[in-house]
Structure 1
């Protein structure tokens, strides 16, 4: 049990700390040159999460669970702080107090991910190590919305002349929006007793869609890196969204394994 706690904690921190660091970078690149204070704050968060990554490298699955619990608390504070920063940027943007190249939906999107990360660390320190069946739908709603957002961002950042890719991105956006609504409907109508067949079908359908989007992102990433398509997509952003799709697939696999063992 202790080793599982350590392993899950280190895995979450390894994945999401890199994501948080990259969010800070993407925000900084989207600000205008006169928004120096916001750029400096973003750069400070890059440093914060780089230090967390350095600390992370000193731990192993055999590390003292109490040390990991303390580390989780430290990283939780960093995740909560970057969440507050992102919400501040979102507020400034929605009130038109700043104008930048950071879409409001993108800022909201990355703040949702910071909240998810902070909450996951809190759950781990409370002993919630493995996914619970009753959490499946909510967790999928979160990630399905993330995937839908990614498709929208890709569609908007591609050059309009890339008509085929833009249309593919729009189709993915529509498909994942529908999956979000379907998940919400399922959560509302879910019977209190037997849910296994519904959840099995739900996870299978989601996995097929996520794998398809993951493959689209992989192709787009390779084309962007090779300068074979026209877009405003940073190569690191392409890789970033690909890794998040991979993460969602891993989580679906965890849920499927949990259901089989129940």
Structure 2
């Protein structure tokens, strides 16, 4: 169970990070619709406004806020996230049934952003119930989720770079393969639970993932800077480049948090 101050701090940190992500998803989806998809564009604009307002409210709440107030806020946010998740799944269905020919939203990208919405929604529910996963389970589940997110990012970068950017495309494809392999390893560790959840194995798991995520984070940072300076050819929106960089940073933060918790546990 979370203490009241920890509940407030973790809730606000999650909402501040993920509400911005949801807001930006709305923009990216809108940019991928065709000009005639006015209803979908309007819905995306509405979600952008909703999550911008949530982000502003989350930033305005101090960490000393009343836990009851933050619990109600989490419920409001959970409701909004459920709606954007449903919107994303609707869009995915339209694409997969060929009802949006000529659009620029990859099916995998739409599935990807819906998975992130579902993750955010589940995290809010866990916080409000005060029932976070035990550390060994959380380490495996969070890494399985985020390793797939990182693998997806590498694939999106590869496909949105101009084909003539051969070296960068090759680097992105290598990262895609690397994170697919890390994901398979994480799923192997998952299927071996609970016997696999020893401190040495989990510690090595985190260390190995950290090295790869740092390399991908640095690649994303370089790509973002080159895109912002108009030094490479791509159809990657500068905000998308920054968006995927921030998600890698967030994953590294989670890995370090787990590592610190695991180190403390191993000394007990």
Report the TM-score range of the alignment, normalised by the length of the smaller protein: over 0.9
1:261 corresponds to = 264
Q: How does 1:189-228 map to 2 (within 5 A)?
A: 189-192=192-195, 195-228=198-231
Is contact 2:16–2:59 with CA below 8 Å preserved after alignment?
no
1:61-117 per-residue CA deviation (whole Å, 9 max, x = no partner) reads 100000000000000011111000000000010011112100000000000000000
Would the alpha carbon gap of residues 193 and 185 (structure 1) be closer, same or farther in structure 2, given more than 3 Å must change?
Answer: closer
Per the TM alignment, residue 190 of structure 1 is displaced from its structure 2 partner at its CA by 3.8
What root-mean-square deviation, in Å, do the aligned CA atoms of Structure 1 and Structure 2 show? Answer: 1.2
Is contact 2:136–2:197 with CA below 8 Å preserved after alignment?
no
Separation (CA, whole Å) in 2 of partners of 1:31 and 1:131: 41
Q: Which runs of 5+ in 1 are unaligned?
A: none
1:158 corresponds to = 161
Per the TM alignment, residue 177 of structure 1 is displaced from its structure 2 partner at its CA by 0.2
Is contact 1:131–1:258 with CA below 8 Å preserved after alignment?
no
Would the alpha carbon gap of residues 63 and 130 (structure 1) be closer, same or farther in structure 2, given more than 3 Å must change?
Answer: farther
Pairing partner for 1:246 from 244, 249, 268? 249
Q: Which runs of 5+ in 2 are unaligned?
A: none
1:125-175 per-residue CA deviation (whole Å, 9 max, x = no partner) reads 011357622221111010000000000000000001100000000000000
Q: How does 1:60-71 map to 2 (within 5 A)?
A: 60-71=62-73
Separation (CA, whole Å) in 2 of partners of 1:186 and 1:40: 43
1:144 corresponds to = 147
Which range moves more in the overlay, 1-10 or 53-62? Answer: 53-62
1:16-70 per-residue CA deviation (whole Å, 9 max, x = no partner) reads 0000000000000000001000000000000101111222233111000000000
SS at match of 2:231: coil
Pairing partner for 2:76 from 69, 74, 77? 74
